[in-house]
Chains A and B, each alone.
Chain A
């Protein structure tokens, strides 16, 4: 079943078109990779898919099963996060935000969900550690756990292995593969085509056609 259908999409900033003529469909259970050079519009595409940015033209059609806030997002690290005093638990729990609606505080069920996702990512022992003191790989697992709190169906990963050492990179790919096997649809952007070939079920080269 199609979760997201993209038809003739053009994207960019204000009037500058970064990429155009993008067509693809993401189905449930896919491991879909978007590969492209720096500046080819990968991150812009990701933001447009998430609804953070309006497309210049074209359409993004969401399947019936997919609500706006049911996409888990793993963004690239920001400058702010490097010295942010926050515990792992606080960050993972913040992934439940979309579930809160008008409720100001997290429910017991949401706290349990956060604990469960930390267990799933193997970061339970780090729960009260400070995020900024963790290794790159550990930080990515924290953000992955947070994204999993926001979704059961689709994860959007923006360069999930950038800045990781080879061992952590391999571990990260294994973890994503494992999630995909458990039924989570993966949409990943990357500039490293050799690694993604090994795992992805479908690859799209940005500026080229869907393979």
Chain B
């Protein structure tokens, strides 16, 4: 098995997949804590469906670089979703559900009507479940991913204290002069970037798992914001690595294997939390 692994690791596409997988897992888990605590667990799901819709538009238009359309559309939707806030006519969760299924339906509809591909079902399946895209990354895509991930981590570290304040108590932060709306906007933009990146890894249906599972696992055991954040980042990277290696060796689909690893890990943390008596949601 080790021989097989070392053999595979010599292929550039496997190396790319590992690099990108680890980076995306890291980024998604960082903001996951904030999203779970702000009761926005489903935003990842909603946005990823929007990204799917945007991607099918790009496919129909036969754009060579679909990032050009997917990224702006997703960022815009993220801003709209997080801005609606508490007093909107349609509440946050209903809004997310509406946009999410709407985008999913239109995306598939467009792909079906204007399809240029001979293997439509395969295309849709790989966008939804990311089945092979992680193993077909080009070097340029890997660099884009590295650059965006570094940007996400730097932004998160620089604004860590403000993100905490805004997540814990918006009113207090606003009263203390923190520009809450600006940071909410920042969170929205960053989460949209992460989701567009993560589509390559797990596909648009499973992204929520990458965002929420590590955070929820960490919250079973740890009790301070810092330890939860650090642990969820580590857990996410560990699960992504495990999932990637298992899928390479056993030939299972990458995205679902990683998510399965996250689920198993959550189970472990839940049991540890039960024994230790950690924070419960």
**Chain A: residues with CB nearer than 8 A to chain B?**
47, 50-52, 68-69, 71, 73, 75, 78-81, 83-87, 89-91, 93-95, 97-98, 100, 104-106, 128-130, 132-133, 146-147, 150, 156
Contact = CB atoms under 8 A, between A and B. Distances in A.
Contacts of B161: 93-94, 97, 100, 104-106
Contacts of A93: 161
Interface string B202-244: 0000000000000000110011111110000000000000000
A86 B176 contact: no
A85 B228 contact: yes
Contacts of A97: 161-162, 165, 173, 176-178
Nearest to B219: A85
A89 to B, nearest CB: 8
B143 interface: no
Interface residues of B, number: 34
A98 B176 contact: yes
Contacts of B164: 86, 90, 94
Contacts of A69: 175-177
Contacts, number: 104
Given A80-B38, A84-B37, A90 B178 contact: no
B159 interface: yes
A104 B159 contact: yes
A52 B228 contact: no
In order of increasing CB-CB distance, the 6 nearest A-B pairs are A69-B177, A130-B223, A98-B176, A87-B224, A73-B175, A50-B175
Interface in B93-151: none
Given A78-B169, A83-B279, A83-B280, A52 B176 contact: no
